[in-house]
Amino acid sequence: MAAPPSDSEYLTGWGGHLESEALPGALPRAQNNPQVCPYGLVAEQLSGTAFTVPRSMNLRSWLYRIRPSVGHSPYTLAEPEGRLLADFSSAAAANCTAEPNQLRWGPIPLPPPDKPVDFIRGLETVAGAGDAARKDGVAIHVYAVNSSMNSRAAFSNADGDMLIVPQLGTLVLKTEFGSLTVPPRSVVVVPRGIKFNVALAAAGEGEGEGERGAEGAGARGYVLEIFKGHFTLPDLGPIGSNGLANPRDIKFPKAAYDDTEEATAEPWVLTHKYMGQLFEATAAHSPFNVVAWHGNYVPFLYCLEDFCCMNSVTYDHPDPSIYTVFTAPSDEPGTAVADFVIFPPRWMVQENTFRPPWYHVNVMSEYMGMIWGSYDAKVGFQPGGSSLHPCLTAHGPDAATFAAASAAALAPTHFNSGLAFMFETGAMLRVSRRALAARNLDVDYHKCWDGIPVLFDAARRDVEVEVEVPAEFAKRG
C-alpha cells in the first residue's frame, strides 16, 4: 500500500465528516461525482444508512478508486451457516439453543501451530439474537488465529458492524479506507460492508499484550456484531460534555492504496459474509485501491487506556452503564441493541460500601471477557476467558469475593489488576451448540457461588463481619 502522506498516522475526532487523500488533489472539489475524477479515479458511494435517514444519523462515504468495486466474479457459497451464525430465530434451533444458566468459558484455545488458521476461518459464534436477514439482533463471536490472511484476500460482512476486541496478539487491519493497527487494550469497529484484511503483527510489534507477559503464538479475542444500527458514543447526560471515551481519542485511517496490478498475479479472493454464510468471489485487482475518500462511514480505532473513567466518590457502586465506551441504540430510548462496556483500572474510594459489583438480576443479557489480569467480582475469570449471564439470570460476586469484600478495610484503593469488558444487550441470546460443547466450557462455574457466608443475625442490626480472607485476595490490588 502506498504510505499515507503525513507524519500523523491517523485522523482523529468523532462525529465529523472526514476526508483523506493519498495523492494531492485526489478528492474532487465542491462535488462528489465529476464526469471524470482527478487522476482518472472512479467515484463510488458506500451507504451505512438508508439515503433518507435524518441528517444527524445519516452515514455514508465517497470513495475514489482505481476501479469500481463491482469488478469481481459472481459470489459462490464457500461455507454454510454453522461455525458462524446470523439467524438465532427458533427456526434456526439446529445451531443454537435457549440456555438460561450462567455460563463461563476458560481461555479461547489457540489453533495448533501446524494448522494455519486466519481471521476468517478462526471466527466462531458463541451466542446471538434476532436475525441478520431482518436487520435486527446481535451476534457474539470469538476468534483464535495463528496466521495472517493471504495478502490477496479481503473480508466483508453484509450482516452487521463488527466491534473487534483483541485479547492476545496485535491485529493489523488493512481496510478500503487505510490501515489500523489494533493491539490488545484497544478495539476497532468495522462498519458493515467495508472490506478488510487481517494480518498478525510480528511478535513485539504493537503496544504490548492484553495479558501481561503473554507470548504471542497467535491472536485471539472477541467480536460483537450488531445486525441493527451502528456504534456511537453514549450521551453523557449530567456528566457534561467531557469524559468516558472522549471524541478526540477516536482514530480513523488515512487513505492508502495498492498501486500495482500485475496481469500474471494470483486473483484476489473476496470473502463476503451474507446472512451468516460465507460467499467467495475473485477479482483481478486489489479492493484496496481507494486513493482518496471523504465521509462519516469509516472504520475506527480506540485505545481503552484513553477511557476517562467515572465512579462514585461518596458511596455505593454505580450501575455499569457508567463504563460504556460505545453504544448501538435501538428504537427504544435508553435500551441498546448492544453496549460495549469496560471495567478498567480505577480508584475505588466509596465509603461504607460493598465495592465489587452487587448481586443482581439484570433484564439485559451480559457477555463478559477478560483482556488482562483479574476481575474484582470473580476469582476464576481468566484472561482470554468469557462468561454469559442471560436476561434475568441471577449472578454477582463469587463466594470468596463476597466474603473478602464484606470484611475489607475501606481505604482508597487503586484497582489496577485487570481489564474486563462486557457486551450488554437488550436481546435474549441463544447460545450456539458448538460453544456449549466447547472443551473450554467451565462445567463447574455455578459452584463459585457455593458457600456464600450467611451474615444474617436477627439479634444485631450492626453486624461486624469477620471472615477469613481467601489466599487469592492477598495478592490482589
Is 10 marked as binding a ligand?
A: no
CB of 91 to ligand OMD, least distance (A): 31
CB 285 within 8 A of CB 71: yes
- Residue 346 binds which entry of ligand OMD, Fe ion, none, with Cβ cut-offs from 5 to 8 Å by kind? none
x/- track of binding to ligand OMD for residues 309-338 (CB under 6 A): --------x--x------------------
The only residue of 107, 206, 357, 373 in contact with ligand OMD, by rule CB under 6 A:
357
Element (H, E) at 434: helix 433-436
Which of 162, 422 has the CB closer to ligand OMD? 422
Phi and psi at 127, nearest 5°, equal: -160, 165
CB 10 within 8 A of CB 301: yes
CB 231 within 8 A of CB 189: yes
Which of 231, 367 has the CB closer to ligand OMD? 367
The only residue of 134, 212, 360, 446 in contact with ligand OMD, by rule CB under 6 A:
360
CB of 360 to Fe ion, least distance (A): 6
Which of 200, 224 has the CB closer to Fe ion? 224
Question: CA nearest 431: which of 79, 124, 111?
Answer: 124
x/- track of binding to ligand OMD for residues 96-135 (CB under 6 A): ----------------------------------------
Contacts to ligand OMD from residues 363-422, by CB under 6 A: 366, 377, 389, 395, 422
CB 210 within 8 A of CB 185: yes
Range in contact with ligand OMD (rule: CB under 6 A) among 105-113, 282-290, 332-340, 355-363: 355-363
- Residue 169 binds which entry of ligand OMD, Fe ion, none, with Cβ cut-offs from 5 to 8 Å by kind? none
Task: Check residue 255 for interaction with ligand OMD (CB under 6 A).
Answer: no
Contacts to ligand OMD from residues 195-224, by CB under 6 A: none
Question: CA nearest 424: which of 355, 334, 359?
Answer: 334
Take residue 57 and report the three cell numbers written for it: 444519523
Is 414 marked as binding a ligand?
A: no
d(CA 474, CA 477): 8
Which of 38, 396 has the CB closer to ligand OMD? 396
Is 19 marked as binding a ligand?
A: no
- Residue 320 binds which entry of Fe ion, ligand OMD, none, with Cβ cut-offs from 5 to 8 Å by kind? ligand OMD
CB of 396 to Fe ion, least distance (A): 7
x/- track of binding to Fe ion for residues 351-380 (CB under 5 A): ---------------x--------------
Query: Across 183-308, where does the E strand assignment appear?
Result: 186-190, 196-200, 219-226, 251-252, 268-274, 277-283, 290-295, 300-303
Task: Check residue 22 for interaction with ligand OMD (CB under 6 A).
Answer: no
The only residue of 47, 296, 362, 440 in contact with ligand OMD, by rule CB under 6 A:
362
d(CA 99, CA 446): 14
Element (H, E) at 44: strand 42-47
Question: CA nearest 299: which of 207, 136, 122, 164?
Answer: 164
One-character DSSP codes across 395-416: B-S-HHHHHHHHH---S-EEE-
> What are the Cα distances from residue 101, in Å, to 40, 325, 369, 392, 450?
59, 27, 17, 10, 15
Task: Check residue 339 for interaction with Fe ion (CB under 5 A).
Answer: no
CB 187 within 8 A of CB 251: no
CA 312 remoteness from chain centre: 26
Which of 69, 350 has the CB closer to ligand OMD? 350
CB of 62 to ligand OMD, least distance (A): 41
Which of 233, 322 has the CB closer to ligand OMD? 322
Is 395 marked as binding a ligand?
A: yes
Question: How many residues make contact with Fe ion (CB under 5 A)?
Answer: 1
Task: Check residue 446 for interaction with ligand OMD (CB under 6 A).
Answer: no
Q: Which residues are catalytic?
A: 317
Element (H, E) at 182: strand 178-182
d(CA 109, CA 120): 16
Take residue 66 and report the three cell numbers written for it: 482505481
Range in contact with ligand OMD (rule: CB under 6 A) among 37-45, 169-177, 290-298, 359-367: 359-367
Q: Where does this chain bind Fe ion (CB under 5 A)? A: 366
Binding site as annotated, residues for homogentisate:
375, 395
Q: Where does this chain bind ligand OMD (CB under 6 A)? A: 317, 320, 357, 360, 362, 366, 377, 389, 395, 422
